[in-house]
Amino acid sequence: MNLAKISANGQITVPVEVRRQLGLKSGDKLLFLQKQNGEIIVSNASATAIRKAQAAFQGVAEEMGINSEEDIQELVNEVRYGRKV
C-alpha cells in the first residue's frame, strides 16, 4: 500500500512505485474515475485516451481493406495528392 499526503493547496506527491506502475512522467495528467460503488480509480489520462481510441478503431483497417504498410502509404498518398502515386 502506498500513501500520499495532501498539501494545504490540495496537491499530492504520487509515490514512485505508483508512478512506475502507471507509466507517469513529469507533466502527465491523472484521470480520477468514480465507480458506481463509490470506489475511485486513478489512471494515466494519456494511456486511457489511447486505449479508448484503439478500441474505437479496432477492425476499421480490415473493413477498409488495409492489410499492410503499403496499403497505408497508398491511402496517405490519395489523401495528400488526390491520387495514387
Query: Which of these, 26, 6, 31, 29, lies nearest to 16 by C-alpha position?
Result: 26
Average pLDDT over residues 30-50: 89
d(CA 4, CA 24): 16
Query: Which of these, 70, 40, 39, lies nearest to 30 by C-alpha position?
Result: 40
- 17-to-27, 45, 80 alpha-carbon distances in Å: 17, 17, 45
d(CA 69, CA 10): 48
pTM for the complete prediction? 0.53
pLDDT at 7 exceeding the cut of 70: yes
Average pLDDT over residues 12-25: 92
